[in-house]
Amino acid sequence: MLAAMKLRAWVVVGALAGAVSGCVGLFIPDSAATRRLREATVLHAPFDGTADARVAGGDARFQHGDSWEAPRDTRPGLPPGNVVRIDPGAGVRGDALRFDKKITQVVGFRVPGNFPPPVADWQGSVSFWIRVTPDEDIEPGYSDVIQVTSKAWDDASFFVEFTKDEKPREMRLGIYPDKKVWNPDGRDWNKMSLEEKPLARVVRPGFRRDRWSHVAFTWEHFNTGRPDGVARLYVDGRPAGGIGPREQTFHWDDGKAVIMLGLAYTGWMDELRIFNRALTPAEVQSLHDEMQ
């Protein structure tokens, strides 16, 4: 409730931005649909002029650290070397975040307040835009556009990745609950079938560096203790796959969790938004359509 009250209070008139409770505002046309999306938003980073978030329920400052491996200690600002930068005028609207080459640093936002915490019957959504030709632009190896966890990639983790060997490269949504839930016997991941892994695959995503593509995913009925957790993946506003129903039990150390961006990714990213509930298909479509 407090986060929703803060979000309703964030307003920009023209080009003037104000800060309310430490969070910077954003003007959104005041229709019923946009009000509902605004009230559900916990983080919005449009990457216009700054990497810092324009709307944040927690620390709005963009962060960087020495490594994406735990413990992921971070400090505010873009990493040195100008390999992750704001690219003026390159965005789906305005500027964009540009990853010039593969990096091993962790960059992104701290989780507390900026990502819905894993409570009982947990739900939420993530939306962003990318511009990349995966087979040509991304270096060999796995590449995560986004990964969110306090542990490891296969233990209480969300990620959207490009695969390392397939031609064309697949895009996958991975939502791995606690490792003891999805892999209680500690089996070798490489010897497991794809059907056993909590993944949604897009075999031919069709992304290109000369046009922006919208990616979103939602999740609901997590942390119920039952095999009813479901996640849905969307590309350019349309359903592109899903995970579940299956048990999705997450335990995080919220203070150690990071919204990590651009892990070994080379390309552009824009308009990152995180919501405290699962958006409807119509709402996901509206996020795509509003930028067209």
Which of these, 103, 70, 93, 104, lies nearest to 273 by C-alpha position?
93
Give the pLDDT band of residue 30 (cuts 50, 70, 90): low
What is the domain range of residue 206? Answer: 62-289
Residue 13 pLDDT: 26
Is residue 231 assigned to a domain?
yes
- Angle at alpha carbon of residue 291, lines to 287 and 292, rounded to 5°: 115
Q: What is the mean pLDDT of the chain?
A: 90
Residue 24 scores a pLDDT above 80: no
Residue 28 pLDDT: 42
Question: DSSP letters along the chain, please?
Answer: -HHHHHHHH--EETTEE-EETTEE-------HHHHHHHHHEEEEE--SS-SS-SEESS--S-EEES-SSTT---EESPPTTSSEEEETT-SSSS-EEEE-S---SEEEEE-TTTS----TTEEEEEEEEEE--HHHHSPSS-EEEEEEEEEETTEEEEEEEE-SS-SSPPEEEEEE--HHHH-TT---GGGS-GGGSSEEEES-----TTS-EEEEEEEEEESSSSTTEEEEEEETTEEEEEEEEE-------GGG-EEEEEET--EEEEEEEEESSPPPHHHHHHHHHTT-
Is residue 278 assigned to a domain?
yes
Q: Average the pLDDT over 162-168 and give the result.
A: 89
Q: Average the pLDDT over 238-252 and give the result.
A: 96
Is residue 1 assigned to a domain?
no
Is residue 73 assigned to a domain?
yes
Question: Which CATH number is 246's domain given?
Answer: 2.60.120.200
* Structural domains counted in the chain: 1
Residue 239 scores a pLDDT above 80: yes
Give the pLDDT band of residue 17 (cuts 50, 70, 90): very low
Is residue 175 assigned to a domain?
yes
Q: Average the pLDDT over 247-262 and give the result.
A: 95
When mean pLDDT is compared across 20-34, 75-89, 100-114, 232-246, the lowest value belongs to 20-34
Residue 137 pLDDT: 96
Is residue 210 assigned to a domain?
yes
Residue 27 scores a pLDDT above 70: no
Residue 11 pLDDT: 31
Residue 167 pLDDT: 86
Is residue 10 assigned to a domain?
no
Give the pLDDT band of residue 188 (cuts 50, 70, 90): very high
